[in-house]
Amino acid sequence: MSVPDEAARIALGALPGDVRVLVWDGIGEIPVHGHEIEFFAGRFNTRPSRETLESLPRLRVVQLVSAGVEPWLSVVPKGVVLCNGRGVHGGSTAELAVGGMIAMLRGIVPFAMAQRAHRWEQRFTEGLDGQRVVVIGAGDIGTRIATAVRVFGADVTLVARRSRPGVCDVAELRHLLPGQDVVALAVPHTDDTHHLVDAKFLAALRDDALLVNVSRGGVVDTEALVAEVLDRRIRAFLDVTDPEPLPVGHPLWDAPNVLITPHVGTIRGWEERAYRLVREQLLRLRDGEELVNQVGERY
């Protein structure tokens, strides 16, 4: 197998004697024994070319340690199984989404500003209790968000590409959006989801609705969002933006009713969880067991 760096090798711990580990991120010359690689562990933002992966005759699996796989879809050769890091970042990203909702609904930022000015500005705010929340994306992150906000009394609707018990089809959004207080995005950025949240989507939201994006910036049409928040019609909590990083002087920085965090869904300790998954997947492959987190053709 191939891992991206020496730290990854250490994190994997002791492996069976018939497993050889090569430290190689797929960039540059193929190392000695590289043509024996069957299992390639890669990171989200550092990836080999398709030609490099196609030159590995025994390659069977590409395992990522990120939930997102978008940059890899075009480089993984046909017949090679692509698996993502579902479960590695889900809890921390969902936690941030819920934290952002609470910060916006409870007015934490205005209270913090009042504190800095030494002003005691007591007032009632909203909370999650009784809020109508639609979560778009019913994977690991989306289901965790839904579970968490239900604990606080929110009325939650899960939406995904296909309907199933407890999950609505994305086509139903046009009927759902006008009645929602909060919309949370937990979907990958693909051709299907690019600018899913466009001007028409935003216009369907009720006044003062809250948009929460912990997925990818490209899921939202930034120009359309800027128009809505500058008009103070809706609110937004954004952990991701398009472009990213958000340039100095971009209107979102100073937009009213917007809270921005710099793509920090991942927390300390993620490497341990990531390489525990890699190890488990490698042993499944070795033992002829089915791999988890396999990415389908349409994600």
Using alpha carbons only, give the angle 204, 136, 185 rounded to the nearest 5 degrees: 85
The active-site residue, picked from 263, 276, 284, 286, is 263
Query: Which pLDDT does position 87 carry in this prediction?
Result: 87
Does 244 participate in catalysis according to the annotation? yes
Other beta carbons within 10 angstroms of residue 62's beta carbon come to 25
Strand order in the sheet with 167-169: 167-169, 155-160, 132-136, 182-185, 210-213, 235-238, 258-260
Q: What interhelical angle do 90-105 and 140-151 show, nearest 10?
A: 40
Helix, coil or strand: residue 184: strand
Q: What is the pLDDT of residue 299?
A: 35
CA 214 – CA 209 distance, rounded (Å): 17
For the segment 146-162, the average pLDDT, to the nearest whole number, is: 97
Average pLDDT over residues 218-240: 98
**Tens of pLDDT, residues 12-30:** 888 899 999 999 999 999 9
- 175: closest CA among 148, 204, 155? 204
191 has pLDDT over 60 = yes
Residue 71 pLDDT: 85
Which region holds residue 166: left if phi is over 0, alpha if psi is between -120 and 50, else beta? Answer: left
Catalytic annotation, pick one of 36, 54, 70, 244:
244
Residue from 47, 189, 216, 279 carrying the catalytic annotation: 216
Contact 109, 259 (CB under 8 A): yes
Pick from 265, 289, 295, 291: nearest CA to 278: 291
The pLDDT score that the predictor gives to residue 298 is: 41
Radius of gyration for the chain, computed over Cα atoms and rounded to the nearest angstrom: 21
Write the pLDDT tens digit of every residue in 67-84.
888 889 899 999 999 999
Q: How confident is the model at residue 146 (pLDDT cuts 50, 70, 90)?
A: very high
Distance between CA atoms of residues 36 and 161, nearest Å: 38
Q: Which residues pair with 185 in a beta bridge?
A: 136, 213
- Whose tokens are 């954004």? That residue is 238
The per-residue pLDDT for 101 is 98
pLDDT of residue 108: 97
Q: Active site includes 216?
A: yes
Closest by Cα among 62, 60, 36 to 48: 62
Q: Both tokens of residue 95?
A: 């936690």
Entry pTM: 0.88
Confidence class of residue 45 from pLDDT cuts 50, 70 and 90?
Answer: confident
DSSP class per residue in 243-263:
SSSPPTT-TTTT-TTEEE--S
Residues 6+ apart with CB under 8 A from 293: 83, 84, 85, 86, 87, 277, 281
Residues 235 and 229: beta-carbon distance below 8 Å: yes
Average pLDDT, the chain: 94
Say how far apart CA 231 and CA 101 lie, in whole Å. 20
User: Which residue type sits at 208?
Assistant: D
More confident residue, 70 or 65: 65
Greater confidence, 212 or 270?
Answer: 212
Q: Report phi then psi at 41, rounded to 5.
A: -100, 120
Give the span between the Cα atoms of 62 and 2, in whole angstroms.
10
Residue 1 in this model has a pLDDT that exceeds 90: no
